[in-house]
Amino acid sequence: MHSVTCKPLGAHLSTQPAPSPRPSPALSSPPPAPLVGLVAPGNAFSLRPVLETKKLGLSEIADFQGHTKHELWDLFSSADYDRHLHVCPLRNCLVKTPQTHHVEARSAEIGRPTLPSEVGIIICDITTPTSLDEMARQAAIVLNCVGPYRFYGEPVVKACIENGTSCIDISGEPQFLELMYWKYHQKAAEKGVYIIGSSGFDSIPADMGVIYTSNKINGTLTAVESFLTINSGPEGLCIHDGTWKSAVYGFGNQNQLKKLRNQSNLKPVPIVGAKLKRRWPVSYCRELSSYSIPFLGADVSVVKRTQRYLHENLDQSPVQYAAYVTVGGITSVIKLMFAGLFFLLFVKFGIGRQLLIRFPWLFSFGYFSKQGPTQKQIDAASFTMTFFGQGYSHGCSTENNKPNIRVCTQVKGPEAGYIATPIAMVQAAMTLLNDVSNLPSVGGVFTPGAAFAKTKLIDRLNRRGLEFSVISSSEV
């Protein structure tokens, strides 16, 4: 999303064909309301004070001089509330440039947003491929924020590949992410473009956090557990129902994901060292003095795909991974157990899913709402993801021996959905543009870790408020 010009990413790279994708089941039919995109030069939205220039890369504009495509990137964004917040960090990259593009995708009945008179608008309809082609042709990268991706993601991916444009999304939907790999990896490789999913809070902290932990251990990392802690202020925590909808559709179509994975017929990734033991559905983490439950987002799927890629393509030792979220004391555990039981019961049936989507606040015990968090809730929120890793020191055999080295790392950042996610997404795009020599040599469909393992993405994130650090490291 920038005024200077840029070549289609990967155009100069080798286009060695990738492995042939296997056939896979289609995603569920989308809701009837079409989405409309607006591509507009300039930016009509105010910059929130917390998103300062120093965190978001205004100084990096100079890095882009000399590129040759009309626009650097387009932002393809969804609801009105999400639009306001997702676009904020991009303004730092727009403010001194005369011709930028903003893409707004929303339900047709909402209509056009109010924009200054100097801002031109290109209508982009998700059901009209030619309009998506028009959008994709004007950028080197499309940042796709339109979800649920199972309904609205694939046409954007397809348009980007056909027009030689790379694409980054913030999907936390394993079925969509894995399906896009099997359907489009080879096509993206042939075009020399990069399609990189889950580049927001799902799942850059987890995926890059495991890579960071592996780089910091004094030996071979073989297993990692991550614990996500969401911190809120005095007004509590609230999450927009877009995330809730993705979860409802995801759990409601678990059989499709199982079928997709069975059809892929992949060889198991080898287990190196002692096998990581799974915790109980409710367990107590002594190190964090908190109860925890398994994290049911996309992190495990994404990290496992990254570890497979690193093992098969870069000959790295694969890391076992499990993800959990802390829930505080026993009162919170009981509350979440009731919410989980209601959710799992209702999500199995069509009418149950309709009720879950219509009344998110009721069925989530107030954690999700159609209005989303207030400004005060966003300002007071933050997250910490703590990684406990184990492995083997140099010279110690991983066969028939217990791990003899441990490491603890953390990723900390501001509010996850509306501040950390756009920061992560924008810096992924910056890395894709500025660190081409360290990307995979052939385009394709990648996880963040597969695409950015050798790049400076973690350094970029550290400079902008997503802090990666080592807490402790010791040999047992």
- Asked if 383 contacts 420 with a C-beta cutoff of 8 angstroms, the reply is yes
CB atoms within 10 A of CB 12: 9
Residue type, 238: C
CB atoms within 10 A of CB 408: 17
d(CA 458, CA 463): 9
d(CA 18, CA 201): 28
Residue type, 92: N
For residue 385, the model assigns a pLDDT of 98
Residue 46, Cβ density class (10 Å: 0-12 exposed, 13-18 middle, ≥19 buried): exposed
Dig out the tokens for 244 from the structure: 């809730």
CB atoms within 10 A of CB 276: 17
Residue type, 287: E
For residue 432, the model assigns a pLDDT of 94
Over range 144-165, report the average pLDDT.
91
Gyration radius of the chain's alpha carbons: 22
For residue 381, the model assigns a pLDDT of 94
Identify any residues that bridge with 106 across adjacent strands, giving them in sequence order. 36
Least-confidence region, from 83-87, 195-199, 236-240, 467-471: 83-87
d(CA 391, CA 409): 14
What pLDDT, in 10s, does the model give residues 185-195? 999 999 999 99
Dig out the tokens for 320 from the structure: 């076992």
d(CA 136, CA 304): 30
Q: Which residue has the higher pLDDT, 348 or 108?
A: 348
For residue 180, the model assigns a pLDDT of 96
What pLDDT, in 10s, does the model give residues 200-246? 998 899 999 999 999 999 899 999 999 999 999 998 888 888 788 88
Q: Which residue has the higher pLDDT, 195 or 352?
A: 195
For residue 48, the model assigns a pLDDT of 24
Ramachandran region, residue 18 (left: φ > 0; alpha: ψ -120 to 50; beta: rest): beta
Q: Which of 429, 382, 425, 461 is nearest to 145 (CA)?
A: 425
Dig out the tokens for 313 from the structure: 């393509």
For residue 204, the model assigns a pLDDT of 97
Identify any residues that bridge with 52 across adjacent strands, giving them in sequence order. none
Residue type, 417: G
d(CA 349, CA 344): 10
User: Taking 60 as the threshold, does the pLDDT of residue 464 lie above it?
Assistant: yes
CB atoms within 10 A of CB 402: 10
Question: Which one-letter DSSP state was computed for residue 233?
Answer: B
d(CA 427, CA 239): 23
Over range 160-167, report the average pLDDT.
95
122 pLDDT band, cuts 50/70/90, is low
For residue 95, the model assigns a pLDDT of 27
- pTM as predicted: 0.80
Least-confidence region, from 108-117, 141-150, 268-277, 349-358: 108-117
Beta strands in 141-207 (DSSP E): 141-145, 166-169, 194-196
- Percentage with pLDDT > 70 across the chain: 74
Over range 398-408, report the average pLDDT.
91
Q: Which residue has the higher pLDDT, 298 or 109?
A: 298
For residue 123, the model assigns a pLDDT of 62
Over range 314-318, report the average pLDDT.
95
Over range 241-255, report the average pLDDT.
84
384 pLDDT band, cuts 50/70/90, is very high
Residue 369, Cβ density class (10 Å: 0-12 exposed, 13-18 middle, ≥19 buried): middle
d(CA 306, CA 452): 10
142 pLDDT band, cuts 50/70/90, is confident
User: Taking 80 as the threshold, does the pLDDT of residue 279 lie above it?
Assistant: yes
Residues 6+ apart with CB under 8 A from 122: 37, 38, 39, 40, 131, 134, 135
- Asked if 167 contacts 141 with a C-beta cutoff of 8 angstroms, the reply is yes
User: Taking 70 as the threshold, does the pLDDT of residue 165 lie above it?
Assistant: yes
User: Taking 80 as the threshold, does the pLDDT of residue 27 lie above it?
Assistant: no
75 pLDDT band, cuts 50/70/90, is low
For residue 243, the model assigns a pLDDT of 82
Strand 166-169 to strand 141-145: parallel, antiparallel, or no bridges (unpaired)?
A: parallel
Question: Which one-letter DSSP state was computed for residue 287?
Answer: T
Residue 49, Cβ density class (10 Å: 0-12 exposed, 13-18 middle, ≥19 buried): exposed
Question: Helix axis angle, 174-191 relative to 154-162, nearest 10°?
Answer: 10
331 pLDDT band, cuts 50/70/90, is confident
